[in-house]
């Protein structure tokens, strides 16, 4: 039943073959299939030949150990994982014939296959639930739960929802569902269950180690780490929906210069083109991109240009891309993927030929002006109807491989910029998958609402996506969908900007209503027919708000050397930039129960104010001494205090020992 082959433990049972092997530091990879052989795909994992497990075989059981983690397999084929001889995770198995405490009237196996076509399966994987276990990571979901135990999560990419199926457990292990298919995970109290709608095989990876930081280091060793973040983009990013013309954009940059406000980045949003899929400036509204970029560089501002993967049928490139098979295909019905401001089809970012074709257009129409930063919008991609079974990439059905699309999208632009000789790369992107971080992906949280409940969701989203391996993360400060005439909007903006100051990237963006600004053109194409929102610069909300925002921008700029050091740590060991309290203080049980405060790198405790009219809040101080960045007051740790938080103050404390 058990055998050793190519440094792997292999066993066959009831038509299923299972392969377990060392894969990284203190880690194992597990694959299982009912096909004649494994696919040979590494999916999110990098090749890893530097580790070899210790394998022991007998008639009754087999074991494989790699450092701190050990897997034991019995005659039933059920896998149990140990760290330092303590069970940390066990596959779920119930047998009607068993004569023990697991005896039931039902037989339930851990790994379940349901045929979908001739070579694919709907797969289900079950584990025993660990009582009291806390679970973190999994990407970005718009909900307030930091601890995901008890949650049900869709494994699918959508606008503002990012599936990165890795979690960190309070039991001392990290787990990766190494499969890009659409599915679902249930972190139930009675069972932990993963489901994939279409796959050739089971594939998961598990690591065990002493601290959350060690676990993240092991995980990012095999999935990749972010490069060092450009110092030139650590300050303010100015953006709105949307600067419609070259003159509008430059007038904003000039006003920042006139006011003496340092501006690192300014963003040209969507529909600066004539048709979707042209990937070039509409000359009617952007007549001299070279002069624009030159002027921005002269005042020290980098320029970001929005790119969409949509190609509308009026685009100059549509027919050629369709003929060459460079577009996403539909299995039935019309060849339309998205109908925002016209019928469009997405380009297939998973296909090598598509990547080269698109990059050639980007290089010709943007890079030649000196533009070297891109906003990769609609990166999920955002299907008008999420009928995943109706769309196909070159790699297979979206139902089977769809979750990795945003990683291919980021890789397309990263590889292109590397080819052009750039090193200080960062691209803003609306979605990600496991490993996107190594392609300089700055993820933002999508088109979210402007209210305090949504602001609270962003804290759990940002902390969990950091644990899932994405250290570069930001939001639309103030939310995307908002009306400046709403009661409390200015307060929301202030509190959100304060939070954003202590995030990886500080970025102003939003679609500010009411939408009463006339269109530039009555034509149904080009840069003039798409609407714009109200102004969204630091000075757009009155003098009182301006003074507060300017204060926090100055704080941010003063912290640039520190932020750069935190970014460097992320590139060296995979640590998030914004961190759960337990990440820095894993021995402090109280920190595992905190969800409304966080660490900005290893040094600053941040307690954001995320409720309207709140002017004080509780803060827990771990062991040590903590100094307020506002008053200089020094507070002893291991206590919870009610601290003052007037509108102009976000409680932030520096650890001084």
The CATH number that applies at residue 288 is 3.20.20.80
| Shared domain check, 583 and 519 | no
| Shared domain check, 289 and 164 | no
From residue 459, alpha-carbon distances to 34, 216, 358, 599 in Å are 42, 19, 35, 12
pLDDT score for 657: 82
Each residue's pLDDT tens digit, 544-562: 999 999 999 999 999 999 9
pLDDT score for 555: 98
Q: Supply the range of the domain harboring residue 583.
A: 578-655
What Rg, from alpha-carbon coordinates, does the chain have? 26
Residue 473 lies in a domain: yes
Q: Are strands 481-483 and 511-513 parallel, antiparallel or unpaired?
A: parallel
| Shared domain check, 243 and 146 | no
> Per DSSP, what are the bridge partners of residue 619?
641
Residue 224 lies in a domain: no
Residue 475 lies in a domain: yes
Tell me whether residue 380 is one of the annotated catalytic residues: yes
Domain endpoint, select from 571, 605, 638: 571
CB atoms within 10 A of CB 440: 25
Q: What are phi and psi of 306, to 5 degrees?
A: -75, 135
Domain endpoint, select from 520, 546, 571: 571
| Shared domain check, 583 and 543 | no
Closest CA to 117 of 405, 402, 403, 389: 389
Indicate which residue of 278, 280, 348, 377 is catalytic.
Answer: 377
Residue 202 CA to residue 179 CA, distance in Å, equals 8
pLDDT below 50 — which residues of the chain?
A: none
| Shared domain check, 144 and 10 | yes
| Shared domain check, 606 and 541 | no
Rounded to 10 deg, the angle between the 212-223 and 560-573 helix axes is: 70
Residue 265 lies in a domain: yes
From residue 255, alpha-carbon distances to 238, 264, 300, 534 in Å are 12, 14, 14, 16
Residue 324 lies in a domain: no
Burial of residue 171 (CB within 10 Å: 0-12, 13-18, 19+) is middle
| Shared domain check, 582 and 499 | no
Residue 395 lies in a domain: no
pLDDT score for 637: 98
| Shared domain check, 204 and 245 | no
Residue 227 lies in a domain: no
List the CATH number of the domain containing 50.
2.60.40.1760
Residue 629 lies in a domain: yes
Residue 594 CA to residue 463 CA, distance in Å, equals 12
Indicate which residue of 209, 447, 537, 584 is catalytic.
Answer: 447
pLDDT score for 103: 58
Query: What contacts 290, CB < 8 A, 6 or more positions away?
Result: 369, 370
| Shared domain check, 133 and 80 | yes
Tell me whether residue 214 is one of the annotated catalytic residues: no
| Shared domain check, 630 and 484 | no
Cβ atoms 179, 196 nearer than 8 A: yes
Domain endpoint, select from 544, 571, 598: 571
Indicate which residue of 128, 201, 380, 537 is catalytic.
Answer: 380
| Shared domain check, 168 and 287 | no
List the CATH number of the domain containing 636.
2.60.40.1180
First to last CA, the chain: 56
Cβ atoms 137, 177 nearer than 8 A: no
Residue 651 CA to residue 375 CA, distance in Å, equals 32
Residue 56 CA to residue 456 CA, distance in Å, equals 49
* Domains contained in the chain, number: 3
Tell me whether residue 447 is one of the annotated catalytic residues: yes
| Shared domain check, 605 and 483 | no
């Amino acid at each position: 039943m058990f055998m050793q082959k190519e440094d792997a433990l292999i066993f066959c049972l009831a038509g299923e073959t299972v392969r377990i092997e060392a894969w990284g530091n203190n880690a194992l990879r597990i694959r299982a299939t009912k096909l004649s052989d494994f696919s040979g795909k590494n999916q999110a994992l990098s090749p890893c030949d530097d580790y070899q497990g210790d394998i022991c075989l007998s008639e009754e059981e087999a074991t494989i150990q790699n450092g701190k983690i050990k897997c034991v397999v019995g005659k039933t084929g059920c896998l149990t994982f140990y760290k330092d001889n303590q069970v940390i995770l066990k596959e779920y198995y119930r047998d009607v014939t068993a004569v023990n405490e697991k005896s039931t009237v039902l037989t339930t196996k851990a790994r379940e296959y349901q045929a979908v076509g001739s070579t694919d399966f709907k797969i289900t994987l079950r584990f025993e639930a660990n009582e009291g276990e806390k679970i973190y990571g999994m990407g970005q979901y718009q909900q307030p739960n930091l601890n995901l135990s008890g949650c049900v999560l869709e494994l699918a990419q959508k606008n503002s929802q990012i599936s990165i199926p890795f979690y960190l457990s309070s039991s001392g292990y990290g787990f990766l569902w190494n499969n890009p298919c659409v599915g679902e995970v249930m972190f139930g109290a009675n069972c932990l269950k993963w489901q994939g709608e279409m796959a050739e095989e089971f594939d998961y990876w598990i690591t065990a180690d002493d601290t959350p930081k060690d676990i993240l280091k092991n995980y990012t060793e095999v999935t990749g780490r972010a490069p060092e973040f450009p110092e030139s983009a650590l300050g303010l990013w100015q953006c709105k929906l949307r600067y419609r013309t070259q003159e509008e954009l430059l007038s904003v940059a000039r006003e920042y210069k006139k006011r003496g406000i340092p501006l690192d980045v300014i963003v040209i949003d969507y529909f600066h083109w004539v048709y979707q899929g042209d990937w070039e400036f509409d000359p009617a509204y952007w007549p001299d991109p070279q002069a624009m970029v030159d002027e921005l560089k002269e005042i020290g501002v980098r320029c970001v240009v929005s790119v969409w993967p949509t190609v509308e049928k009026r685009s100059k490139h549509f027919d050629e891309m369709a003929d060459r098979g460079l577009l996403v295909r539909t299995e039935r019905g019309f060849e339309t993927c998205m109908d925002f401001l016209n019928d469009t089809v997405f380009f297939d970012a998973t296909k090598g030929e598509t990547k080269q074709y698109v990059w050639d257009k980007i290089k010709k129409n943007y890079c030649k002006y000196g533009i070297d930063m891109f906003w990769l919008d609609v990166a999920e991609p955002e299907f008008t109807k999420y009928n995943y079974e109706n769309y196909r990439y070159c790699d297979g059905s979206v139902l089977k491989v769809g979750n990795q699309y945003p990683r291919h999208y980021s890789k397309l632009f990263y590889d292109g910029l590397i080819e052009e000789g750039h090193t200080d790369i960062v691209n803003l992107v609306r979605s990600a998958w496991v490993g996107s971080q190594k392609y300089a992906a700055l993820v933002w949280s999508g088109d979210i609402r402007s209210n305090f409940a949504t602001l609270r969701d962003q804290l759990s989203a940002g902390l969990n996506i950091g644990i899932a391996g994405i250290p570069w993360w930001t939001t639309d400060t103030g939310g995307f969908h908002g009306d400046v005439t709403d009661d409390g909007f200015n307060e929301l903006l202030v509190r959100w900007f304060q939070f954003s100051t202590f995030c990886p990237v500080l970025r102003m963006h939003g679609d500010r209503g009411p939408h009463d600004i006339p269109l530039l053109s009555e034509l149904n194409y080009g840069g003039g027919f798409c609407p714009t929102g109200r102004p969204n610069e630091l000075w757009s909300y009155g003098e009182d708000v301006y003074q507060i925002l300017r204060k926090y921008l100055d704080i941010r700029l003063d912290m640039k050397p520190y932020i750069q050091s935190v970014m460097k740590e992320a590139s060296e060991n995979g640590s998030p930039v914004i961190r759960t309290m337990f990440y820095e203080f894993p021995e402090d049980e109280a920190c595992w129960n905190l969800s409304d405060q966080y660490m900005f790198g290893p040094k600053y405790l941040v307690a954001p104010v995320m409720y309207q009219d709140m002017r004080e809040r509780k803060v827990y101080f771990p062991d040590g001494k903590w100094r307020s960045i506002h008053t200089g007051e020094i507070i002893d740790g291991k206590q919870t205090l009610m601290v003052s938080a007037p509108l102009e103050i976000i409680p932030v404390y520096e650890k001084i020992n």
